[in-house]
Structure 1
């Protein structure tokens, strides 16, 4: 019996020893493995762990600002955020009350109900007051298995800051975006244009100056903790985002507002289809205001798909084109302002009968008188010895058929057959009084500005200055000024144009200021293609004795038809405002008027 007992004891001891040996082997294996990891593979594993915690976050560069000449903001980007959630992470969420030194991971909230539940319901109770959303609706959005669900767009920075304090960055994330805001109130809709969903310019100045306005993104690399927070001291690299540059326009917002109002009032008064107006500074070609009666808000789809009528829409200038002919006649030495002409109602040249707008007997007019009464026949008579090539040359010298220099998207250079030998028999004559070619309101403004600037044509400018995200000066370079006619002949033109305006003083009522200008009433194609439409305009320089500004006003199909009757009074209204705003001294009395009859 004792022998059997010893046998069981031996078995027990042997088994105990075996188990002990196994435990020792396992322990030694763990020690060996741990030693291997620490001595040979520790750095690699640590690196892998660090990489799994490393975040490279983009910091968006905000688009730059557009201002008027007085630095009034017209377009700017406001920082905002798209808030999104990870539903899988939300399902595992357990709120942690703030106690002791756990500020970096706890949920600081006054809502006790947050801690009564877990998962999406808890998060919804925290976020609903901040996002101003219904708790149940928000909880439904947080429930599921999607790793990316948008909770709210265009959230303001203060909303993000409130959420950041909840330490739930492993569940709730943010994407920095920006809203493009415009303060133009419809004044410059098609000029400013708009941006697309990515923040890039797609129309107007936003497209034209996109390279200057676009911001440059930055980034930051750091390691994040269990709840997604940045671990202090782990930031390895970063670069600050750069805000886009600033584009300053030549436009004065106050003048723009007044011009727009006067133009719209005139459109309503004369029941016109639409109106266009331009104000240009004589000395340097800067555009102070550019408006049409279309009511498009900058940034809207309409502003992105329509263009500025003043820059892109062209029409035959009609009688205002006679200014180019008169300037060419003077410059080529064919006639002087006081030369005598006997002007009948009609005349036949090259088999083409040309007549004036109203029947009349033979009128005894000077060259100045021909311009004053806007005689087609007299204009043709004065330019009989001006060759066809010279007729084309001066039209082009005054900028028709060429870019204005503004470089605006969709800008029209006007339309003209660029070879005088290809003109038909009628066009050879009608170009002398503004038919047979077309121009924009902006181009015709510069015709008068060239004369007012002592015969020198400046490239027109819409951008006063521009810088890019790096602070580099990227202001568009203007073409060099070009002399078109001599100063003496420019002065003679201004004298004759003043007589034109003086003949309509009741309509061009600007007490204390002299005006030099020309009206036009041109036929244009209507809906059926026939010449059933009218473009009525008045273009003038003020004050005539010391020209500071040129104003163009154009109406399509106004009641009253004639440019002097419809556009003229609006021109005077705008002119009076400019004289008061810029405190331009009153004109000296006129003493050198050239005779208009003989």
Structure 2
């Protein structure tokens, strides 16, 4: 085909139109990028250039109920370097090494690393404030000052498993540190700068400083004084009985507040990595489950009285055993207790008598009360790692299971469940939810941000039934198996427990958990105290809760009530003398004396009292047991020394 001038003109026009269209499209695309996509692309670029140097907020403190600091964060400056931004590394290394007291070559090696950030410090990441100011004065580009914190424990190992531990990144791992991590940790800040791919600062870009914010303080229900009494008793029990484990709890039954919680084995939270994981991961007081033994009889007694199945004056005959479904379940006393009232059944912790109460109640009723008292489910305490315990399913309960459950065998419970159940008896019949946190407090101002109010879970028995049970338990301590918990002037009510330990479906010979749970004063309990000792090895006494655990709870209650200023009373039941009772003597007042004066006064009193000294200083500032308290002859009086002589 011949190309004419007209065809060429048309082709030229079409070419020009296409070219103009392409140029218009390019212009439109550029306009779209500049006008519409510019902010997005700019942000993407800044995200690629952005480098954040983290700044930690100061972790909040943990306080006891009276504001005493149990743990806090001591912060110290840290030197951070961005190696790619340090141009003259040799000169920078020489200057920094001089200020930090580090070898020049070590600093030079750190500055030469192919990393975004490196920390410069001798042996640790923390330096002094004076060193930090000197580093700032050097003005070396790429070198920054941040803050690092370390947890400090003024009371050492006290309440370690309640407080918990923190990791290297300031995060809570166990205990309160984990449960309230979001409250304690605060908000992280940062120093933001912009750098090229090779790490060098972008020209004409500044820094953005976002300050870190401190965490809030957590105030616990724990009382340092009562916690120290409890840990002292556990320490002494470990020294005397070499058990596998031990746990103790003290509760305010009216509020559900936990005033003390301690375990053995424990650990040092400052060096928790040096201890076996189970010591810092498992809080035995809320995690461990075991057969409770006779302390569980409090539930059976409460249910039987509430349902009108027994009057404490009713008679029962104990021949030394009880026949159930072809099995003969023996009483702990060979030959039995013979004819006794049901009050005597409680005093004597007589298993056949409690089997009879279980049969009167029936499995549906007994197990409904067991669940009402909180067994078989978590209490909801504000600590991580709580156990459920184990109960028989109702369709698995036959006559034998009903019998053993009635006296605390065949079920599995946690220490905190037992404390809360007996707490319901102590406060008039209300099951409370336990808690160890009292309030959230602003770290800077000290103002209370949030309080934790007492929570009633449900009513389990009437106030009248609770009063009857307390009277029976006071009689246990005054006249029955719990006499070693008796405290002159304080009406202690309680129950002993001695439980065999099952392993691989069989009870291990000679392996027992002995326990005691008590409350005082019996007419209006201010405290509930519990201790369980796993596999004790006494040298001079049988393995019974009444012999080993009861006196420990008696001392905890006596010291704690005196510490709280609870007055003594002469209205309680007198202690029934027993043929093998040790003579009781009155403890003199040693407070205000020097140590030599106290020792001479102990000798002059005529009582066979020994003294144990704790603390340092010229004067006795506290003693346990308290002056005027009656104790067995030959007891040990602990004298706490200090530098300031108490008034009076």
Query: Deviation at 1:480?
Result: 2.6
| Cα distance in 1, alignment partners of residues 145 and 211 from structure 2 | 18
Tell me, yes or no, if the aligned pair for 1:356 and 1:377 is still in contact at 8 Å. Answer: yes
| Cα distance in 2, alignment partners of residues 526 and 462 from structure 1 | 32
RMSD: 3.5
Match of 2:484, SS state, is coil
Select 1:210's aligned residue among 181, 190, 202: 181
Tell me, yes or no, if the aligned pair for 1:57 and 1:221 is still in contact at 8 Å. Answer: yes
* Per-residue CA distance 1:556-575 (angstroms, 9 max, x = gap): 11123101111111112211
Q: Paired residue for 1:531?
A: 508
1:314 aligns with 2:289: yes
Q: Write out aligned runs for 1:337-376 (5 A).
A: 337-361=312-336, 363-376=338-351
Q: Paired residue for 1:193?
A: 164
1:496 aligns with 2:496: no
| Cα distance in 1, alignment partners of residues 125 and 505 from structure 2 | 48
Tell me, yes or no, if the aligned pair for 1:276 and 1:554 is still in contact at 8 Å. Answer: yes
Tell me, yes or no, if the aligned pair for 1:272 and 1:555 is still in contact at 8 Å. Answer: yes
Tell me, yes or no, if the aligned pair for 1:345 and 1:377 is still in contact at 8 Å. Answer: yes
1:76 aligns with 2:72: yes
Q: Paired residue for 1:511?
A: 488
Tell me, yes or no, if the aligned pair for 1:514 and 1:543 is still in contact at 8 Å. Answer: yes
| Cα distance in 1, alignment partners of residues 137 and 342 from structure 2 | 82
| Cα distance in 1, alignment partners of residues 484 and 98 from structure 2 | 63
CA pair 451-593 structure 1, distance change in 2 beyond 3 A: farther
Q: Paired residue for 1:63?
A: 59
| Cα distance in 2, alignment partners of residues 56 and 144 from structure 1 | 18
Tell me, yes or no, if the aligned pair for 1:494 and 1:516 is still in contact at 8 Å. Answer: yes
CA pair 362-404 structure 1, distance change in 2 beyond 3 A: closer
| Cα distance in 1, alignment partners of residues 93 and 243 from structure 2 | 57
Query: Deviation at 1:477?
Result: 6.8
1:165 aligns with 2:165: no
1:295 aligns with 2:259: no
1:282 aligns with 2:247: no
Match of 1:75, SS state, is strand
Match of 2:262, SS state, is strand
Q: Paired residue for 1:34?
A: none
CA pair 472-57 structure 1, distance change in 2 beyond 3 A: farther
Q: Paired residue for 1:413?
A: 388
Which is greater in Rg?
1
1:126 aligns with 2:95: yes
Query: Deviation at 1:555?
Result: 0.7
Tell me, yes or no, if the aligned pair for 1:380 and 1:432 is still in contact at 8 Å. Answer: yes
Q: Paired residue for 2:433?
A: 459
CA pair 411-210 structure 1, distance change in 2 beyond 3 A: same
| Cα distance in 2, alignment partners of residues 278 and 145 from structure 1 | 53
| Cα distance in 2, alignment partners of residues 572 and 293 from structure 1 | 19
CA pair 165-313 structure 1, distance change in 2 beyond 3 A: same
The count of aligned residue pairs is 515
Higher RCO (C-alpha 8 Å, min separation 6): 1
| Cα distance in 1, alignment partners of residues 319 and 478 from structure 2 | 24
Select 2:411's aligned residue among 425, 428, 437: 437
Query: Deviation at 1:124?
Result: 3.9
Tell me, yes or no, if the aligned pair for 1:537 and 1:555 is still in contact at 8 Å. Answer: yes
Select 2:543's aligned residue among 561, 564, 568: 561
CA pair 403-512 structure 1, distance change in 2 beyond 3 A: same
Tell me, yes or no, if the aligned pair for 1:297 and 1:303 is still in contact at 8 Å. Answer: no
* Per-residue CA distance 1:91-133 (angstroms, 9 max, x = gap): x53xxxxxxxxxxxxxxxxxxxxxxxxx52x434433343222
Q: TM-score under structure 2 normalisation? A: 0.72
| Cα distance in 1, alignment partners of residues 243 and 83 from structure 2 | 59
Query: Deviation at 1:390?
Result: 0.7
Q: Paired residue for 1:389?
A: 364
| Cα distance in 2, alignment partners of residues 161 and 297 from structure 1 | 34
Query: Deviation at 1:466?
Result: 2.5
Q: Write out aligned runs for 1:233-248 (5 A).
A: 239-248=210-219
| Cα distance in 1, alignment partners of residues 190 and 254 from structure 2 | 47
Structure 2 residue runs of 5 or longer lacking an equivalent are 1-37, 577-648
* Per-residue CA distance 1:33-81 (angstroms, 9 max, x = gap): xxxxxxxxxxx9xx99xx8999866543232222111222223233334
Q: Which moved more, 1:395-404 or 1:180-189?
A: 180-189
Q: Paired residue for 2:17?
A: none
Query: Deviation at 1:334?
Result: 1.1
| Cα distance in 1, alignment partners of residues 206 and 92 from structure 2 | 28
Structure 1 residue runs of 5 or longer lacking an equivalent are 1-43, 94-118
* Per-residue CA distance 1:183-217 (angstroms, 9 max, x = gap): 34222222222223322222221111112222112
* Per-residue CA distance 1:160-190 (angstroms, 9 max, x = gap): 222101111x142344432233334222222
* Per-residue CA distance 1:129-161 (angstroms, 9 max, x = gap): 432223454455456777644322422460322
CA pair 527-191 structure 1, distance change in 2 beyond 3 A: farther
Q: TM-score under structure 1 normalisation? A: 0.78
Tell me, yes or no, if the aligned pair for 1:66 and 1:76 is still in contact at 8 Å. Answer: yes
Query: Deviation at 1:394?
Result: 1.0
Q: Paired residue for 1:262?
A: 233
